[in-house]
Amino acid sequence: MRDGRGTVRAPVLQFTNCRILRGRRLLRWEDLWVREGHIVDPEKLFFEERLVADQQRDCGGCILAPGFIDVQINGGFGVDFSQATEDVSSGVALVAQRILSHGVTSFCPTLVTSPPEIYHKVLPQIPVKSGGPHGAGVLGVHLEGPFISREKRGAHPEAHLRSYEANAFHDVLATYGSLDNVRIVTLAPELGRSHEVIQALTARGICVSLGHSVANLRVAEEAVQSGATFITHLFNAMLPFHHRDPGIVGLLTSDRLPPGRHIFYGMISDGMHTNPAALRIAHRAHPQGMVLVTDAVPALGLGNGRHTLGQQEVEVDGLTAYVAGTKTLSGSIAPMDVCVRHFLQATDFVMLDDSLHVRATYISGELVWQAEEARQ
């Protein structure tokens, strides 16, 4: 695109006839303007740069929402992030590409409790990566375990659970190897020396999440005071809410959090892991903290049958995934957009009569996936 002075500049795209999800509302009469992968202010463009759009895209009345970010996904389409295969990056790339059709534009590949060899082999092969036509962006790895509670291990293999009682953060480093590509660590704060570990992790910019734990509210609050900011799949793999000790769930309404800080919590809204009434209670108690996650397993996108998840075997039947031969839930196989739709039905938090089916996925203003009907 050449401007008045004849110099080439990046084209300005205008997405029209859309409803923009912003500030918890749907804006009907606004358009979305994008240039070089950034959203720009069209008023500024008009008055300061004296520019108008170079191209317009009619969104057909659809909703334009920020791309979904999945911070807990263990694999999918046959790929298991917790397996030390020869070509881990292809597996990550496959999942990254396939989840575009679910509306996910960034994700944290998640590794379940595994022996140190797995971490040492796999972690260096999952670097942070920007998204694009090739697939959703990798924000960093989510390490769920092995520093978790025995009683609340869920589908995590007991044999590989660990503690950092002996050497605190050094044990953490020894187990995982390098923390370079790590973004989130889920741990159980009742484990001895968690305070030091949480501080060390947060000092490195790693988000500490509480989960798979039997911590009571006081221990959980102390963990937050040490730097924890997230809860892994609220309600699941933790003590149930009790009116005299709300446990980790109580963090949603705790008054003992550091000032100005509030807690975020992941929820798997696949219709299986949590009763809709519980979903609503959490949302009403603390709407700004809710983060929908899929906790998807390698069986995502595949049919019923047996699949692996790290060191475990998982049985998939319909929308449920259990540790083979048990009734222990093992992740989920609901794609992110299904979770979002289910959440809409459960809580009615978005006022629209649309069905929230993903029509097209954009990363940095570039079309990276489109539904078949939309292509015509």
Binding site for another protein (CB under 8 A): 4, 31, 41-44, 46-47, 49-52
Q: Is the omega angle on the peptide bond into residue 42 within 30 degrees of 0, that is, cis? A: no
- Inter-residue contact 222 to 256 (CB < 8 Å): no
Helix axes 169-176, 194-203, angle to 10 degrees: 60
Query: Based on CB atoms, which residue is closest to another protein, 29 or 373?
Result: 29
Dihedral over Cα of 292, 235, 123, 305: its sign: negative
The tokens for 247 are: 């446990």
- Inter-residue contact 306 to 80 (CB < 8 Å): no
Query: Based on CB atoms, which residue is closest to another protein, 47 or 349?
Result: 47
Query: Based on CB atoms, which residue is closest to another protein, 10 or 367?
Result: 10
Query: Based on CB atoms, which residue is closest to another protein, 27 or 291?
Result: 27
Query: Based on CB atoms, which residue is closest to another protein, 49 or 245?
Result: 49
Q: Is 237 annotated as a binding residue?
A: yes
Query: Please, what is the minimum distance in Å from the beta carbon of residue 32 to another protein?
Result: 12
Query: Based on CB atoms, which residue is closest to another protein, 50 or 327?
Result: 50
Q: What is the 3-state secondary structure (H, E, C) of 64-126?
A: ECCCEEEEEECEECCEECCCCCCCHHHHHHHHHHHHHHHCEEEEEEEECCCCHHHHHHHHHHC
- Inter-residue contact 150 to 212 (CB < 8 Å): no
Between CA 153 and CA 161 the distance in angstroms is 8
Q: In sequence order, which residues have a C-beta less than 8 Å from that of residue 31 and are 6 or more positions away? A: 14, 15, 16, 18, 42
Q: Cα torsion for 167, 170, 173, 179, to the nearest 10°?
A: 130
Q: Is 233 annotated as a binding residue?
A: yes
Query: Please, what is the minimum distance in Å from the beta carbon of residue 43 to another protein?
Result: 5
Query: Please, what is the minimum distance in Å from the beta carbon of residue 16 to another protein?
Result: 10
Query: Please, what is the minimum distance in Å from the beta carbon of residue 45 to another protein?
Result: 8
- Inter-residue contact 133 to 187 (CB < 8 Å): no
- At residue 22's C-alpha, the angle toward residues 274 and 254, to 5°, is 45
Q: Is 331 annotated as a binding residue?
A: yes
Looking at 70, 270, 295, 337, which residue is catalytic?
295
Q: Is 91 annotated as a binding residue?
A: no
Query: Please, what is the minimum distance in Å from the beta carbon of residue 12 to another protein?
Result: 12
Instruction: Say whether 295 is catalytic.
Output: yes
Q: Is 236 annotated as a binding residue?
A: yes
Query: Please, what is the minimum distance in Å from the beta carbon of residue 210 to another protein?
Result: 41
* Nearest one of 70, 72, 68 to 331, comparing CA atoms: 72
Phi/psi zone of residue 256: left (φ > 0), alpha (ψ -120 to 50 degrees), beta?
alpha
Q: Which residues are annotated as a binding site?
A: 144, 155, 212, 233, 236-237, 244, 273, 329-331
Q: Which residues are annotated as a binding site for Zn(2+)?
A: 144, 212, 233
Q: Which residues are annotated as a binding site for substrate?
A: 155, 236-237, 244, 273, 329-331
The set of catalytic residues is 295
